[in-house]
Structure 1
Amino acid sequence: MAHDRDEHIIEAIGRCRIVIRNGKVVEVGEARIMDCPLAKRFAYPIPDISADSVKSNIEHRIRAFGMCTPDRDVLDNREFVGFGASELLSFGLHAGLIDAAVLACDGAGTVVVTRPAMAQGVGGRMSGLFSTCPYPQVIDRIENGGGHVLDREHAMIDQLAGVALAAKKGFRKIAVTVARPETAETIRRIHPDTLIFGVHVTGLTKEEAERLVSASDLVTSCASKTIREAAGPKALVQAGITIPIFAMTKKGKELIIEKMRQTSEQVLIKPTKLPSLGDQQPKPLV
């Protein structure tokens, strides 16, 4: 299975387009935001969003866990943020609220994972994956760990086909991460019971944000002004303030509340109008 190009395109840190070839960062595009409070708390912090600091952060990920290389580590048990997307999905698998999560993984494309540590290992350290190439080593690691890979040959990213694969494998409580409103709407129509998690939403137009929010159970807000505006007033629960995650449905709310019930961390609960945003937001919101 020779793949002609060893290339990955990801969008990270304010929708900055990053190209990685043969384990090297070869291109860093323009970021759409200047400041992100979450990026300052990364394992390898980004104090200011410049091409150099973004490049250093990605190079650190390549060294630390083999991102976008055949050495990609796919298991992790550390929580990076209490109510992040991968943390909630990982918890959902652990608690039996979901039995499979459909994610995108560099080196493998769309994957179906069944283990909490793999949901966290794949999703917790991956930014928006735009395109990738297959590494048999990474694919084997996922499959040997109980996961399923949609497309061994091209590492295609297709979340709708990923949900169909999970259903075919007999999973009934399926969750999926989705970045585009049309994908979310199609999955909702064809596989209505899927838990849809809107991710990687910085830069969505007002209309795209409203559509994604309407079709999703949970939506993270990244640095998106339109998601905060579209999701906030309709959300049942908001988790976090800096980069809030909004539960739009009872099913999404259940996942957040159950995680809260089982955590030993201190939590503040108060009825309020949403969105409730502190002064520590990414700047500017786009």
Structure 2
Amino acid sequence: MTPSQPDEHIIEAIGRSRIVIRDGVIVEIGDARIKECPLAKRFAHPVPIITKDAVRANIEHRMKAFGMCTPRRDVLDTKEFVGFGATELLGFASQVGLIDAAVLACDGAGTVIVKKPALIQGVGGRMSGLFSTSPIPDVIRRIEENGGIVVDKVHVSLDQFSGVKRAHEAGYRKVAVSVARPEVARKIRDAYPDTLIFGVHVTGLTRGEAEEMVATADLMTACASKTVREVAGAKALVQAGVSVPIFALTNRGKEIIIEKIRQSNEQVLIKPARLPSLDASQPDPLI
């Protein structure tokens, strides 16, 4: 990090609260758009009702527990936080050879290309929507020491298209990427049609945006999106979870979920159903 670059990280987390962390201190917490989320209630530091004080306590816990947005940031982890979460599925897909690299976003490093399952989970498992970040040399070093590639070590930009391009230049062919915006997903699909695209952080998408993402992605989380539940649910081949579902929209996405179930020792209910199939415990409100 050069002297002219501030140590500032902006994330959207826990009900789409905008959080600014500067020099290791939370300096801003915006109003959440969601009041309750079933996943937030199961966090390591739970958030039963989404208030600014609860969001602050949760983010401070993340900073203390694994160094989020600080030089102490852990980048390796093997613990699954959500059985069918995005990084859990991508880490599993890497482990069994269904993908050979994942393009993710990491605080302190920006867009990164990672292969090792523990690095995939460590980078993405506890990270929410990263809006912008600044370089943290220790984090960049740890990622590289574990075989990862930091696409832009100077500005740590968030550019998933450039990440996919760089992954192909590095020799990877079965590339997966997490994408939040449908126009970026479309750009990647058009240029690199074999990419496995995972739609994430989709709360608040308009119906048109949801339709574009669903038409492009292989897998997609529902987050707190009403439109994604409606549009993705109608097209999905497989749904995993009923509170905050993951939808498999293509056979490639379906294969990852089914293979994870096949190799798991957990009990699973499988039955034909009209999707989406939702329980009473949904984020409130859905937007």
Pairwise same-fold verdict (TM > 0.5) = yes
Alpha-carbon contact 2:7-2:23 (below 8 Å) kept: yes
Structure 2 residue runs of 5 or longer lacking an equivalent are none
| 1:173-192 alpha-carbon deviations (Å, 9 max, x no partner) | 00000000000000000000
> In structure 2, how many angstroms separate the alpha carbons of the residues matched to 1:196 and 1:57?
29
1:52 and 2:46 aligned: no
Q: How big is the shift at 1:4? A: 1.8
Equivalent position of 1:258 in the other structure: 259
> In structure 2, how many angstroms separate the alpha carbons of the residues matched to 1:5 and 1:205?
33
> In structure 1, how many angstroms separate the alpha carbons of the residues matched to 2:152 and 2:71?
16
Amino acid in structure 1 at the alignment position of 2:139: V
| 1:210-253 alpha-carbon deviations (Å, 9 max, x no partner) | 11111100000110001001100100000001100000000000
Equivalent position of 2:193 in the other structure: 192
Amino acid in structure 2 at the alignment position of 1:22: D
1:155 and 2:156 aligned: yes
Amino acid in structure 1 at the alignment position of 2:61: H
Matched residue SS, 2:232: helix
> In structure 2, how many angstroms separate the alpha carbons of the residues matched to 1:189 and 1:225?
27
Equivalent position of 2:101 in the other structure: 100
> In structure 2, how many angstroms separate the alpha carbons of the residues matched to 1:254 and 1:210?
22
Amino acid in structure 1 at the alignment position of 2:49: D
Matched residue SS, 1:25: strand
Equivalence map 1:100-179=2 (5 Å): 100-179=101-180
**RMSD across aligned positions (CA):** 0.6
Matched residue SS, 2:38: coil
Equivalent position of 1:236 in the other structure: 237
Amino acid in structure 1 at the alignment position of 2:274: K
> In structure 1, how many angstroms separate the alpha carbons of the residues matched to 2:281 and 2:21?
31
Matched residue SS, 1:97: coil
> In structure 1, how many angstroms separate the alpha carbons of the residues matched to 2:171 and 2:42?
39
Alpha-carbon contact 2:5-2:134 (below 8 Å) kept: no
1:21 and 2:45 aligned: no
| 1:155-187 alpha-carbon deviations (Å, 9 max, x no partner) | 100000000011000001000000000000000
> In structure 2, how many angstroms separate the alpha carbons of the residues matched to 1:5 and 1:240?
40
> In structure 2, how many angstroms separate the alpha carbons of the residues matched to 1:25 and 1:11?
13
Aligned residues: percent identity? 67
Q: How many equivalent pairs are there?
A: 286
Amino acid in structure 1 at the alignment position of 2:152: D
TM (norm. structure 1) is: 0.99
Amino acid in structure 1 at the alignment position of 2:93: G
Equivalent position of 1:40 in the other structure: 41
Equivalent position of 2:268 in the other structure: 267
Equivalent position of 1:73 in the other structure: 74
Structure 1 residue runs of 5 or longer lacking an equivalent are none
Matched residue SS, 1:176: strand
Matched residue SS, 1:126: coil
TM (norm. structure 2) is: 0.99
> In structure 1, how many angstroms separate the alpha carbons of the residues matched to 2:234 and 2:205?
18
Which 4+ stretches in 1 moved above 3 angstroms? Answer: none
> In structure 2, how many angstroms separate the alpha carbons of the residues matched to 1:15 and 1:213?
21
Matched residue SS, 2:112: strand
Matched residue SS, 1:88: helix
> In structure 2, how many angstroms separate the alpha carbons of the residues matched to 1:28 and 1:224?
21
Q: How big is the shift at 1:14? A: 1.5
Equivalent position of 2:227 in the other structure: 226
> In structure 1, how many angstroms separate the alpha carbons of the residues matched to 2:25 and 2:245?
32
